[in-house]
Amino acid sequence: MSDTMYLLDSLRVAESSENKIYEIQDKLSKTIEDSKESILRLQESVTEKTNIIHQVENIEDEISSGNEFLKAHLIVLIVAAVFFFFFLKGEGILNVSTYLQSLSVFVFSTIVHFSIEYKGSFNELKKASKDALSSRSYFKRTKNVKQTANNSINEYETYISRYQDILNKAESEIYELDDSLFEIQREKTNLVDELFSNSECIARLKPE
């Protein structure tokens, strides 16, 4: 009887240990799941900040293109004004008043022409400039976000690796405990068979 009780007690201890390991496994699984979710959120943050960087770069390219566009037309305007000057001089009608009046009309008509023809482009450049100032200011405040996010991801991956090691160890302990339980249950079965084959022991097990 003492052997039987010992085995039964051992079985209860093993089952208790198994339940505790299952609880640890559940907690570790939850911790790993939370860590993975945190990593996904950080990766989304990195993607968002990277997109902001690309947007700023694209806007800067647009502004650069717009500046080149304006410079080119300014050069055309200057060349046209110089040509107009020599044209009037060649016609013999050049004087300050006439030239300024003619030049004013020429410049005004040129500006009106550009405004009508390139109104959409100028509006887009204006909007791009406004967005660029806002994005560039935001980018200056968050220029280190990407590196910080990458560092955080590496840190979380380290934590996940550690949790995975703990989980693997817990699973290994569970398997070892299962083996122990199997041995105990087999010994218990053998003991029960032996007890029931002995009538004297069976009689002693019957209640009075």
Residue 59 in contact with residue 128, Cβ under 8 Å? Answer: yes
DSSP state for residue 197 in the 8-state scheme: T
203 has pLDDT over 60: no
Q: Percentage of the chain surpassing pLDDT 90?
A: 0
DSSP state for residue 92 in the 8-state scheme: T
Number of structural domains the chain divides into: 1
Going by pLDDT thresholds of 50, 70 and 90, the confidence category of residue 202 is very low
Rounded Cα distance, 138 and 62, in Å: 18
Tell me what the mean pLDDT of segment 7-34 comes to.
62
Tell me what the mean pLDDT of segment 129-153 comes to.
55
Model pLDDT for residues 57-114, shown as the tens digit of each residue: 666 566 566 666 666 666 766 676 666 666 666 555 555 566 566 666 666 666 655 5
Res 134: pLDDT: 56
Residue-number span of the structural domain to which 179 is assigned: 2-205
Mean pLDDT, the chain, rounded, equals: 61
Residue in 67, 193, 194, 199 with CA at minimum distance from that of residue 129: 67
Tell me what the mean pLDDT of segment 138-155 comes to.
57
Rounded Cα distance, 175 and 181, in Å: 10
Residue in 143, 155, 120 with CA at minimum distance from that of residue 57: 143
The CATH number linked to 38 is 1.10.287
